[in-house]
Chain A
Amino acid sequence: MRDLYPVRAGNLASRVFGGEAVVMNPADSTLFNLNETATAIWLAADGKTTLRQIVEREICPAWDIDAETALEDAETFARELAAHSILLISTESAKS
């Protein structure tokens, strides 16, 4: 599987409350509430870090879960957010 580089869409409003991100997409007025795991991925999605690195660095140590299972869940989550245009996924780093 190729590495995926998620990055937060730039036109959103967001705030973290008690460890959970609330995200508003002003284009369609949709409000999202991310749980703590999703929030950790969301906050780390800078376009330069792969989803695998995010999972290994942010998810596995905090939630005591094996990397492959977590990566599978994270990819599902990332594609779901991408479908709502609040996360963009690239196969190339923003650096390149």
Chain B
Amino acid sequence: MELRAVRWFQVFWLCGLCLRAGESIPDRPEKLEFPPLQYSPPHADEYRVALKSGPVAYLVPDHELPLVNLSILVRTGAYLEPADKTGLANFTGYLLTRGGIGEKTADELEERLAFLAASLTSGIGDDQGIVNLNLLAKDLEEGLGLLRQALTAPRFQADKLELYRDQTLQALRQRNDDSSAIEARESEALAYGTNAWISRNETDASVKSIAVADLHAFHQKWFQPSNFVVAASGDFDRDSLVSKLEQLFSSWPFSGEVPPPIPTNFAMAKPGVYVVDKDVNQGRVSLLLPGVRRDSPDFPAVLVMNDILGGGGFTSRIMNRVRSDEGLAYGAGSAFPGGVDYALPFRAGLASKSRTVAYAASLVIEEMHRISDQPVSSEELNTAKRSFIDTFPQTFNTKGKIAGQFARDEFTGRHARDPGFWDQWRQRIDSVTQDEVQRVARKYLTPDRAILLVVGKKDEILKGHPDHPVTLGSLVPGGLVELPLRDPLTLTPLDSGTKKVE
């Protein structure tokens, strides 16, 4: 080791010499000077067209590549499906373009799309549907014809429904195979309550209850032009595409409904440590707390605070403590996503070997206390702000992203409510102060209200580590509750159900 030490000093010394001799390279990056960089974001109104046929469209021409990308956002979602047919929205969304359209069977459509090297896909999530068309510009006319048929005349072929049902059931069978899937499912149930629409899951029975008629009914109820927002980018002439879109959405063959507001009557579980026993050698931890909506006045400060706490990757405190200091986890961090229609929960998470799960989780809670009890440093605050402000151009770095972001703003109502949002965004972040960071940390990071979910080998995890005398049950109030594994197909508890652990 002596030799190595000498060598390092030599490198250091020689380097210093050549710097003095040659052009100056400073010893610290702060000494570098950079030319200024100006950036202003695009404006939605430059691209916005309110079509006479109903939808609002955002058209961003781009002639560099001979491609066109078209997305239709649809006001629909899983929140609109009946409780005993969970999966209906997903099935309708998937099969809209996979079950035959108009005159074409599903297989004929696939062959035609493959021949054109085009892609036509669709899906319905929790609170939004989407239909995407991506193709060579020369095929736009034909592609729009196919799109019209998909939107107005999906066939929902029975054989394709059966195939997708089988594929879905196969996927359900895997539900307990991976500990991360169990963690995601139980997190949702704990964060929103088991009776909330958002934590309903497909089961063998619900999937088997879906019939072709259900798909047609769900489709016709929500897929109508007044429920659409369009994003288009690529190699087209704006005026010509406007008239093509008017044609696409005209004379709609059925009339649907305006969807009701999204129910938000969620109920978070009681604070406590919830454990699911699973035979793996690494335990997964999720700490959950009530979150915020993104239009909350607190949200910019919440974002900055979370970036410092655990959202900022290697510059964040949780990563520094849990990973770099202690080597207890590969990934460790926190997320504070702002919900659009309802608050999304705060989550801090990590995965560590069974015996150090409790210790690693205790470090996360310590950091939550620290950021509430003491002001963050000005350096941390500055780093967090720069990470939002200077990466901002990436929000709009492709024409597809410009069209997509503005269409999404139209869809969520942000364009109408807060038209200056993107112009003011960097300023809103920049005005966050150390006091505000501490204020929102105190307001939202309340470990005494936390839900701590642990998925892993229970006995080993509860044993803890001799070097770190921390017990899992003492980390948050409410005691230790064992959650049962659920049958992957029926989701009913596999053993005697939820129980307190002594």
Chains A and B bind each other: no
Contact surface of A with B, Cβ cutoff 8 Å: none
